[in-house]
Amino acid sequence: MTRPRLTFARASLYGFLALAVASWVYILAGADSGLEDLFSGRAWSNAASFLRQLLGLDAGLSGGGRPAFLDLGRWAETGKLAYKTLLMSVLAISFAGLGVLVTFLPAARNVSNGELGGRPSVGLGVLYHVLRLVFAFTRAVPELVWAMVIVFFLSPGVLPGAIALGLHNYGIVGKLSAEVVENMDPGPARALRSAGAGNLQMLAYGIIPQAMPQFLTYLLYRWEVVIRTTVVVGFVSAGGLGREFRLNLSFFQYTDVALIILWYLILVVAVDLLSALLRRMVRTG
Amino acid sequence: MIWIGTPKASGLARVLETRRLLTLVLAGALVWSLAGAGWGGGIVHTGGGNSLKGFLLALFPPEVSPGFLNLAFAASWQTIVHAVAGITLAIVVGLPLGVIASGSLGNPGRSRLAIAAGVRLLLAFMRSIHELVWAVLFVAAFGLSSLTVVLAIAIPYAGILGRIYSELLNDVPERPLDGLRSSGASPVRVLLYGRMPMALTDMLSYSFYRFECAIRAAAIMSFVGIRGLGFEIQLSLNDLRFDEVWTLLLFLFALVLLVDYGSAKVRRSLGS
Amino acid sequence: MILTKNIVDGRGLGKSFGALIALAPLDLAIAPGERVALAGPSGSGKTTLLYILAGLLPPDRGELFLDSQPVARLQPGRALSEAVGLVQQQLGLVPQLPVVQNVLAGRLGQWGLLRSLTSLFSARERDTALKALSRLGIADKINERTSQLSGGEQQRVAIARLMVQAPKIVLADEPVSSLDPARAEEILKLLTGLTDETGGAMVASLHAPDLIREHFSRVIGLRQGVLQFDIPARELTPPVLDALYDLDRNS
């Protein structure tokens, strides 16, 4: 019987397993592991109490009165914040989308090195690498970290959060869109050249129309992710539901927290449905 | 050569409409969001412009003293450890759930489909809530600890992985599976010897991508107080040490690139 | 500067891709009004030659003059598109664009950037496109998304684009290979009609001998990149064609 070769895949699997074991050991053996809590009754009773307060069953602790999610007025107030959150999410992908539209073409290898018929230049080559680096970096930094940095320059509100989300998603959609261009069928571009098209005409007639459907699809998929993250970014940038969530939690207004979670779920479901609908329109239209 | 006059618009109108409608909706959404953004005096802090300049300049050079680099490495380790634990738990939970949700296990029948649908709903719920929101809730319930943070990452990630796994398992071509079935393989065998091997590369590829996301997730868990790159970034920001912030950002960048690169190599190694 | 009555004048045109010789150096002279068929098995260099004649592929060696001008001088854009136009085998249409835009793309060599861009939103010279599409019998499809059309209809859109471009030299890569005889007749009549109007020349690659004899004045045979024969179309007999397509038992 032959022994299996040690391929890179196999070696990295072993490596990853070793890392996984090491990580779990480190966590469970560490001081803050939480392992004892798992077995202590106190943590579970705390959690149970928390859940009861969320559901409004422990009237005393939540400050008396009705649970927030049974109060129509609270629904309306929180609804306004949900509206802001929705707006922030659309603004974020708008920023990301506009940024990509402006920069994705030179970020495609076959555009910048002239494969599609243009004239390659050193400048374009450098631009390609710079853009790819920008995509990678903006992608690597989590949205929340971007938001933490941005609130140093911009006053809290919807805008800094949208910019933070926009930056991160710009990197993601940018890379994907450039790859769409790189994988594109060169036939139509060549045909346009033979019809006499110059560089910009070829981009406008040949490349952008072919890339648009995929670009929009990626953008709409990211919207589904962004709406979930908008609340989180709001913790720091103070727009929409996020700040309210944080405040209510720190003041132990747990039924308000439950209400916010309900609105959050409504937003998530609504955006998922809208995104699916719009994506279908992109496919057929 | 008959000259045909202006064509009538029947089915064309439908196509045209979708396109026009789509353009209108997207343009409208853009305008609506830009209008509501809250521009106006005071969006920039006083001194915000200077802060921005200072921040950008601090990249050249970032803080590279040995003491700080040690700190950065330690913080990276914290982040990696939580990310790995989170993703492994997510896979362990997500894989069986994904298999059930794909409906390819068990005997064909209504109960199997109902269970699959139920599991799909569960997965959808798990992934509707962002990992940090789960974290904030868990910390309020259980208190802060590594396990709560790992759990907060694992739950939504298991939801995402489960859904993708079930889709990949279902996208597998049926023909080879029919071959297995006709030679008498039970549904479990068909799954193990047929579906999973064919879907494996894609499943692995997506899991790697999720691992990369888990690193980011672990980093932002600093918000609830767990140590790691995010925690140090927050500290350095508060001290206005932008050069340190850049070092930490570069460490995060390097971590993500490493996983990206490793995943590409593994995929190539498998493909060959 | 070589002055010649020929509309295509190529000397020693050759092209290799690495170690593969796609086209061994050949001379080609085409007079105005000539209709030249390119025959040969796949991989014989027909497509390579057509792309070189279209000015899309620079030859590794040799010189090419189109309409008495060196092909390099004709770049970019306008002059080249007036001299020569190519219908590719895969048609080269942009699937997402409406038919009218794909057809009007033939005018891109003449239009400036601004007109090209505004035309994308509201087609300029719509009538030109409509006329071409009417001649091809698909005027009713003018606003449809190109990907929604059948293969045969798309091919006619590609020819409409060529009509709108109206180049002196018409090139076509396998325009009728997947068509039934009646349709093939129709397409070839349209293509030859184009060249009659402009007084130019046509070069098309195809296999069917009776179509070659009927519509073309001259036929060039290629095999593995090497010129096998260059004869008047009526001299294309079955033995000649069989020898061209014969399987090479040694390879």
Contacts 24+ apart (CB under 8 A), C43-48: C43/C224, C44/C222, C44/C223, C44/C224, C44/C225, C45/C15, C45/C222, C45/C224, C45/C225, C45/C226, C46/C173, C46/C205, C46/C222, C47/C89, C47/C173, C47/C205, C48/C15, C48/C22, C48/C23, C48/C225
**C143 Cβ under 8 Å from any chain B Cβ:** yes
Looking at residue A64, its pLDDT comes to 54
- The answer, yes or no, to whether residue C14 has pLDDT greater than 60, is yes
Q: What is the pLDDT of residue B5?
A: 40
Q: Do B1 and C134 touch (CB under 8 A)?
A: yes
Is residue A169 a contact partner of residue A218, using CB atoms and an 8 Å limit? no
The candidate with the shortest Cα–Cα distance to C216, out of C197, C235, C242, C199, is C235
User: Mean pLDDT score of chain C, rounded to an integer?
Assistant: 86
* C contacts of A201 (beta carbons < 8 Å): 108, 111, 113, 116
Eight-state DSSP code of residue B193: I
- Closest Cα to residue C136, out of C158, C119, C109? C158
Exposed/middle/buried for residue B132 (C-beta within 10 Å: 0-12, 13-18, 19+) = buried
In this predicted structure, what is the pLDDT of residue B14? 53
Q: What is the 3-state secondary structure (H, E, C) of A179-198?
A: HHHHCCCCHHHHHHHHCCCC
* CA separation for the pair C37, C214 (Å, rounded): 11
Q: Which amino acid is at A105?
A: L
Q: To 10 degrees, the CA torsion angle through A149, A150, A156, A157? A: -130
User: For A221-248, what is the mean pLDDT?
Assistant: 90
Across residues B39-66, what is the average pLDDT? 76
Asked if the Cβ–Cβ distance from B84 to A269 is below 8 Å, we say no
- The Cα A205–Cα C109 span in angstroms is 13
Angle formed by the axes of helices B146-170 and A8-29, nearest 10°? 150
Smallest CA–CA separation between A196 and chain C, in Å?
4
Say which range, A87-101, A207-221, C57-71, C95-109, has the weakest mean pLDDT.
C57-71
Domain layout of chain B by residue ranges: 64-271
Q: Do C144 and B12 make contact, defined as CB atoms within 8 angstroms? A: yes
Residues 63-122 of A with CB under 8 A from C: none
Place of tokens 């072993």: A14
CB contact under 8 A, B38 and A158: yes
Is the pLDDT score of B3 beyond 60? no
For the residues of chain A, what is the DSSP string, one character each? -PPPP--HHHHHHHHHHHHHHHHHHHHHHSTT--HHHHH-HHHHHHHHHHHHHHTT--TTTTTSSS-GGG-HHHHHHHHHHHHHHHHHHHHHHHHHHHHHHHHTTTTSHHHHTSTTSS---HHHHHHHHHHHHHHHHHHHS-HHHHHHHHTTTB-SSHHHHHHHHHHHHHHHHHHHHHHHHHTS-SHHHHHHHHTT--HHHHIIIIIHHHHHHHHHHHHHHHHHHHHHHHHHHHHHH--THHHHHHHHHHTT-HHHHHHHHHHHHHHHHHHHHHHHHHHHHHHH-
pLDDT at B42 over 60: no
Q: Which of B22, B45, B133 sits opposite A153 (nearest CB)?
A: B45
Enter the ipTM.
Answer: 0.86
Asked if B40 reaches chain A (Cβ–Cβ under 8 Å), the answer is: no
- Tell me the torsion sign for CA atoms C125, C126, C129, C134: negative
Residue of A256, A259, A264, A255 lying closest to A55 (CA atoms)? A255
Superfamily of domain A70-284: MetI-like (1.10.3720.10)
From chain A, pick out residues whose CB is under 8 angstroms from the CB of B81.
22-23, 26-27
Mean residue pLDDT across chain B: 85
Summarised one tens digit per residue, pLDDT across range C157-203 is: 999 999 999 898 999 999 888 788 888 888 898 888 888 887 889 99
Report pLDDT digits (tens) over B131-189.
999 999 998 888 888 999 999 999 999 999 999 999 998 888 888 888 877 887 777 77
- Chain B interface test: which of A153, A169, A217 (most B C-beta within 10 Å): A153
User: If you compute the radius of gyration of chain A from its CA atoms, what whole number of angstroms results?
Assistant: 25
User: Does domain B64-271 fall into CATH 3.90.480.20?
Assistant: no
112-141 in chain B: CB under 8 A from chain A: 128-130, 132-133, 136, 140-141
Is C15's pLDDT higher than 60? Answer: yes
Q: What is the pLDDT of residue B258?
A: 92
Residues of B with CB under 8 A from a CB of C: 1-4, 7-9, 12, 15-16
The answer to whether residue B11 scores a pLDDT higher than 60 is no
Q: How confident is the model at residue A238 (pLDDT cuts 50, 70, 90)?
A: confident
CA-based radius of gyration for chain B: 25
Chain C within 8 Å of A196 (Cβ-Cβ)?
Answer: yes
Task: State the average pLDDT for chain A.
Answer: 87
Inspect the interface and report whether the beta carbons of B15 and C145 lie closer than 8 Å: yes
Top pLDDT among A28 and A112 is at A28
Question: Which of A10-19, B76-85, B177-186 holds the top average pLDDT?
Answer: B76-85
Is the pLDDT confidence value at A37 over 80? Answer: no
Render pLDDT for B91-103 as a digit per residue (tens, 0 to 9). Answer: 999 999 999 898 8
Work out the pLDDT band at C4, boundaries 50, 70, 90.
low
Of B172, C140, B131, B119, give the one whose Cα is nearest residue A225.
B131
Q: Is the dihedral of CA A74, A80, A84, A87 positive or negative?
A: positive
pLDDT above 90: percentage of residues in chain A: 46
- Whole-model pTM? 0.86
CA distance B114 to C84: 64
Q: Could you give the CA distance from residue A159 to residue A235 in angstroms, rounded to a whole number? A: 13
Between C57 and A31, the more confident residue is: C57
The H or E element spanning position C25 is strand C20-30
From chain A, pick out residues whose CB is under 8 angstroms from the CB of C118.
Answer: none
pLDDT tens readout for residues C105-154 = 998 888 888 888 888 888 888 999 999 899 888 889 888 889 889 888 89
> How far apart, in Å, are the Cα atoms of C76 and each of A91, A197, C71, C80?
41, 8, 10, 7
**Runs of H (alpha helix) within chain C:** 46-53, 71-74, 78-83, 99-104, 113-121, 126-135, 151-165, 181-198, 209-215, 238-245
Domains along the sequence of chain C with CATH:
8-245 (3.40.50.300)
Residue A12 predicted with pLDDT over 50: yes
A207 vs A237, residue with greater confidence:
A207
Report pLDDT for B7. 47
Task: Return the SS3 of B176.
Answer: helix
In this complex, which of C131, C135, C139 lies closest to B7 when CB atoms are compared? C139
- Tell me which residue of C90, C121, C116 sits closest to C105, measured CA to CA: C116
Residue with token string 């609830």: B224
Tokens at residue B248, please?
């930490």
Beta-carbon separation of B245 and A34 below 8 A = no
Give φ, ψ of C172 to 5 degrees. -140, 130
Residue of A nearest to B221 (CA): A144
Quick one: closest CA in B to A216, which residue? Answer: B26
Instruction: Work out the average pLDDT over A178-192.
Output: 89
Q: Which of C61, C46, C47 is nearest to C10 (CA)?
A: C61
Distances from the Cα of B68 to the Cα of B62, B72, B73, B80, angstroms = 11, 6, 9, 18
- How far apart are alpha carbons C172 and B226 in whole angstroms? 67
